[in-house]
């Protein structure tokens, strides 16, 4: 009797060269097998003899019978190598190719896209972001917002005003009348 070689399966007990069948893609045999083994989820099995079997890396995934691992796409998170599912990053977060999780947009920044970092921008003065925002929030009229990193707002006092997007309240100029804190002086 001859042992069935690696990369093949031999259904009959006594094998001859004619009884050998190659393992199909996504299956492998180390030799002496009556059936080929299925490549497990989370692994890549590109060679029928099992010599190149490798686990998927973090940020990759594969289903059973895979010959290669798939890299997670930008804008998605792939925390489970043994699953073909991915998590779509919600607005205000982002990920790049091969990420296992979505990253929250930092305070003081706006993240317009879930799949790119080159569009992340710092808030302008008079705007702010508490994090996980796609756009910075403008400071409302009648208030001063001194920080781009939080939503702290100071109400303008009588004799001062803000038309919005301000870091400080402006004093009503001498000889002018400020009817309220949200309108330009008259």
**What pLDDT is attached to residue 17?**
54
Looking at residue 18, its pLDDT comes to: 61
The residues of the chain scoring below 50 in pLDDT are 15
- Residue 84: predicted pLDDT: 80
Nearest to 119 by CA among 130, 104, 134, 132: 134
Report how far residue 138's alpha carbon sits from residue 161's, in angstroms, rounded to the nearest whole number.
Answer: 16
The pLDDT value recorded for residue 82 is 87
Report the 10 Å Cβ neighbour count for 23.
23
11-33 residue pLDDT tens: 865 545 567 899 999 999 999 89
- Vertex 152 angle, CA 142 and 118, to 5°: 105
- On whether the CB atoms of residues 167 and 144 are closer than 8 A, the answer is yes
Task: Supply the Cα-derived Rg of the chain in whole angstroms.
Answer: 31
Please tell me the distance from the alpha carbon of residue 99 to that of residue 156, in angstroms, as a whole number: 45
- Whether the pTM exceeds 0.85: the reply is no
Q: Is 55 exposed, middle or buried (0-12, 13-18, 19+ CB in 10 A)?
A: middle
> Which runs of consecutive H residues, i.e. helices, occur in 115-182?
none
Sign of CA dihedral 94, 96, 97, 101: negative
């Amino acid at each position: 009797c001859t042992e069935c070689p690696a990369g093949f399966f031999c259904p009959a007990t006594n094998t001859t060269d004619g009884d050998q069948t190659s393992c199909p893609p996504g299956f492998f045999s180390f030799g002496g097998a009556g059936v080929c083994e299925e490549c497990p989820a989370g692994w890549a099995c590109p060679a029928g003899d099992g010599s190149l079997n490798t686990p998927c890396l973090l940020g990759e995934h594969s289903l059973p019978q895979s010959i290669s691992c798939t890299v997670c796409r930008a804008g998605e998170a792939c925390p489970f190598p043994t699953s073909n599912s991915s998590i779509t990053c919600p607005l205000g977060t982002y990920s790049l190719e091969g990420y296992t999780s979505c990253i929250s947009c930092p305070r003081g920044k706006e993240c317009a896209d879930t799949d790119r970092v080159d569009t992340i921008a710092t808030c302008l003065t008079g705007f702010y972001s508490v994090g996980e925002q796609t756009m910075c929030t403008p400071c409302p009229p009648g208030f001063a917002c001194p920080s781009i990193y939080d939503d702290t707002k100071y109400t303008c006092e009588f004799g001062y005003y803000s038309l919005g997007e301000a870091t400080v309240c402006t004093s009503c100029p001498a000889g002018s009348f400020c009817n309220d804190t949200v309108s330009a002086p008259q």
